[in-house]
Amino acid sequence: MTTDRDIARVTVPTLQRLVARGQVWTRVAAEYGVTNPQPPWKSSLDGMCDALDDEGSVLPPLTRRDDEDLLSKEVYGMLPYPESQLVALAHSMVGRGLIDEDALARRLDEVRSRLAASEG
């Protein structure tokens, strides 16, 4: 587990690869002709943040928000909001040992496979 001041120094290769793909909602929505400005996963992200805030002991609300601010600025500044919020939360959870990076990578692969299957 990491401390508040070094969360930005934790590297999460799975998230680095995700960011390098440049799949931000505005680009994906335009590619698929979607006009809704909110990504479909935004409500799930909000629910996850609410659940974490309600629980409070797994990732205290102020820690989560401080991590989000720091990571959105120092590590994921090239991403627009809400992508930066999503990736910062995942980074914080991996960096603090709440989720395993390999499990995150597997889950992302599963989602990517489902999306590819729905296109074909």
HEC profile for 11-78? Answer: CCHHHHHHHHCCCCHHHHHHHHCCCCCCCCCHHHHHHHHHHHHHHCCCCCHHHHHHHHHHHHHHCCCC
pLDDT in tens, 29-68: 898 888 999 998 999 999 999 999 888 888 999 999 999 9
Residue 87 has φ and ψ, to the nearest 5°, of -70, -35
pLDDT in tens, 10-35: 999 999 999 999 889 999 889 888 89
> What's this model's pTM, rounded to 2 decimal places?
0.87
Break the chain into its structural domains and give their ranges. Answer: 4-119
- Angle subtended at Cα 66 by Cα 62 and Cα 68, rounded to the nearest 5 degrees: 115
